[in-house]
Every structure is written in structure tokens, then in C-alpha cells.
């Protein structure tokens, strides 16, 4: 675990607490937890383009607690990386609270992943299977609340919905009663992947809650984010793939501007981003602004110097 931010107060005094943001009446724009992608360099980039709150990729709490190597590789932050939520995959209250205590000095809060539909996660008792275990979710929230002394440290959950929506509302009410700070709702069931998002379900959940709710699912532009915010009545929107394709979308850009691409190059090189990750992000960002032939050439590049030469030659910067 690498960090220049030693005290939580440093982070929280420089930026609003997420809870304060959610009560501002303004749209809170959130970068989703994305395995491999929502790491420090990418979080730094989207913060330059009007992203209000960022999540780390999902981290398996048991590995994080057990292994210093896992902590160093999975969680990197710095003083400008706030407000920040660390998302954990967990199925044990004690292990989760231990993980929360480790990250507490470096983050604004933790999030419990109750929405990942991947088979490996569900087989381990993580992710979306937890929407069917409300008592375990309550136990984990309580344990973190009891173990972390900072009263401003948030504990949130990210869920998918049930086919039977009243079950989801019941889950959310139980989580709220236990002291959860806010809930992010991905408006699909565990089985759904690319089907339309049930924004009506998110709206119903929000109407039944007094804590903040974040809407998530298939948001690809600032206009769409504002529309989803309005129709669901939620307090914020969370975006994943839309930000990968256009990290500047929250600032109102319809496609990735060249300045954003060069900002990514500067940030990634400064922070020592591995080449595979550096290149993959650029492939996503340039999807809409390159031809098929250009994609073939760019995607086959195999070194940082080759990428820099390509960008300089083709975009004259």
C-alpha cells in the first residue's frame, strides 16, 4: 500500500465529504470501481474532468488483510486522490473491518461489493450473491462501524436488483437501518448483462430510502447522466464504461478530446503505469476518433516510445 496521504483529515479538509456532496442538491458524478482500470492514474485523470468521487477497483478483503504484497499492488493513492472510496469483496465481517481499519487513514470510506455477477466472485460468496444475504450485509456494516473510530468514515454498498423488487427494497431498508452511508444501485438483475437498465426500479428504491442513492448502468454522456439523475430522483450517478471510452464525459465532452489523451500520457508516465494498462486505456479513449485502419496499427504497438511516436505523428502534438 503506497501513499503520500498520511492522515484522513488531510484528505477530508481539502475536499468535501461525499455525504456533504450528496446533500448539496447537485448531481454527484462518480467513477465506478473497475477491475484493472480505476487505479490511481485513471482516477487522477477523471478528477481533472469534473468527476466528484472515485472508487478503487474491487479488492478481495481477505487477500488485502493477509498479504503486504497484495496491499502494495492493489491499493495506491496520493494526497490529491480524494475523495476516495475503497471497494472490497468480502463475506466475513471481521476480515472486512480489519481491511477498513487499514485503509481508514488513506480514504473517505469503504464500499461492500454486493453487485459483481462474475461466477468466480459468487462462488467465493462475494459480489451479487450478497443481495440474498441481508443479515450478512448488516453484520459487515455493523462491524466496520464498530471498529473504525472516525465517525466521518463512510460505509456504503453497491448492489444489483432482484427480479422481485420488494426484496431489493427490503435489503436496502435493512442496510439503512444498520447505518450504511449510501447505496449504489446497478439497475439490472444478476442474470442481465446488456439488457436495458431498469431505471424505474432505481427510482422506486430511492423513494423508499432516506439515505443517498447512486444510479448506475449504461450512462455514456453528461446529458445521459443528467437525464438518469432527473428520472430516478437519485443523488448521484456512477459511470464505468462510459468513462473508459471518454474520461472527459463528466466535463461535457461528447468524445475524448486530444488534451485528455495527452493528460493521460503525462499522468500515466509520471505515476509509472505499466505499459499494458497505459496502452489499453488509450485504445478505449481513441475508439471513437480513429478509423478501423488506424485502430489496427495503434492496437498492435508494443512499447511506450512507439505509442508516443504514433500520437505525435498522427495528432501533431
b/e string for 69-86 if b means 16 or more Cβ within 10 A? Answer: ebbeebbbbbeebbbbbb
Question: CB–CB of 131/159 below 8 Å?
Answer: yes
Q: Is 116 labeled as catalytic in the residue annotation? A: yes
Per residue in 220-237, pLDDT (tens digit) is 999 999 999 999 999 999
Q: How far is CA 231 from CA 44, 103, 250, 298, in A?
A: 30, 35, 18, 40
Q: Is 279 part of any known ligand binding site?
A: no
pLDDT-derived band at 2 (thresholds 50, 70, 90) equals low
Q: Is the pLDDT at 278 greater than 90, yes or no? A: yes
Q: Is 186 part of any known ligand binding site?
A: yes
Q: CB neighbours (10 Å) of residue 162?
A: 17
| Average pLDDT for 115-127 | 91
Q: Is 33 part of any known ligand binding site?
A: yes
- What 3-state class would DSSP assign to 98? helix
Per residue in 60-91, pLDDT (tens digit) is 999 999 999 889 999 999 999 999 999 999 99
Q: Is 240 part of any known ligand binding site?
A: yes
If phi > 0 it is left, if psi is from -120 to 50 it is alpha, else beta; for residue 30 that is: beta
Q: What percent of the chain stands above pLDDT 70?
A: 95
- The pTM score is 0.94
Contact partners, residue 312, CB within 8 Å, separation at least 6? none
Please tell me which residue in 11, 82, 116, 172 is annotated as part of the active site: 116
Amino acid at each position: 500500500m503506497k501513499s503520500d496521504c498520511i492522515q484522513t483529515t488531510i484528505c477530508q479538509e481539502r475536499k468535501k465529504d461525499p455525504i456533504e456532496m450528496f446533500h448539496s442538491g447537485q448531481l454527484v458524478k462518480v467513477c465506478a470501481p473497475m477491475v484493472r482500470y480505476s487505479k490511481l492514474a485513471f482516477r487522477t485523470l477523471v478528477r481533472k474532468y469534473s468527476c466528484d468521487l472515485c472508487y478503487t477497483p474491487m479488492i478481495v478483503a481477505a487477500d488485502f488483510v493477509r498479504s503486504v504484497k497484495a496491499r502494495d499492488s492493489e491499493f495506491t493513492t496520493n494526497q490529491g486522490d480524494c475523495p476516495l472510496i475503497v471497494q472490497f469483496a468480502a463475506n466475513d465481517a471481521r476480515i472486512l473491518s480489519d481491511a477498513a481499519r487499514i485503509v481508514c487513514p488513506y480514504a473517505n470510506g469503504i464500499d461492500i461489493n454486493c453487485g459483481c455477477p462474475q461466477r468466480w466472485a459468487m462462488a467465493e460468496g462475494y459480489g451479487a450473491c450478497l443481495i440474498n444475504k441481508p443479515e450478512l450485509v448488516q453484520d459487515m456494516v455493523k462491524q466496520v462501524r464498530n471498529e473504525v473510530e472516525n465517525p466521518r468514515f463512510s460505509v456504503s454498498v453497491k448492489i444489483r436488483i432482484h427480479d422481485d423488487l420488494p426484496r431489493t427494497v427490503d435489503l436496502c431498508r435493512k442496510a439503512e437501518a444498520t447505518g450504511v452511508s449510501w447505496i449504489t444501485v446497478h439497475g439490472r438483475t444478476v442474470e442481465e448483462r446488456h439488457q436495458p437498465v431498469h431505471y424505474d426500479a432505481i427510482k422506486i428504491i430511492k423513494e423508499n430510502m432516506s439515505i443517498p442513492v447512486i444510479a448506475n448502468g449504461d450512462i455514456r454522456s453528461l446529458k445521459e447522466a443528467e437525464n438518469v439523475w432527473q428520472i430516478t430522483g437519485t443523488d448521484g450517478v456512477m459511470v464505468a464504461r462510459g468513462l473508459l471510452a471518454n474520461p472527459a464525459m463528466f466535463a461535457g465532452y461528447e468524445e475524448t478530446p486530444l488534451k485528455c489523451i495527452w493528460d493521460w500520457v503525462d499522468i500515466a508516465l509520471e505515476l509509472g503505469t505499466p505499459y499494458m494498462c497505459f496502452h489499453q486505456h488509450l485504445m478505449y479513449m481513441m475508439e471513437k476518433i480513429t478509423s478501423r485502419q488506424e485502430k489496427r496499427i495503434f492496437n498492435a504497438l508494443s512499447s511506450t516510445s512507439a505509442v508516443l511516436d504514433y500520437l505525435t505523428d498522427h495528432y501533431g502534438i
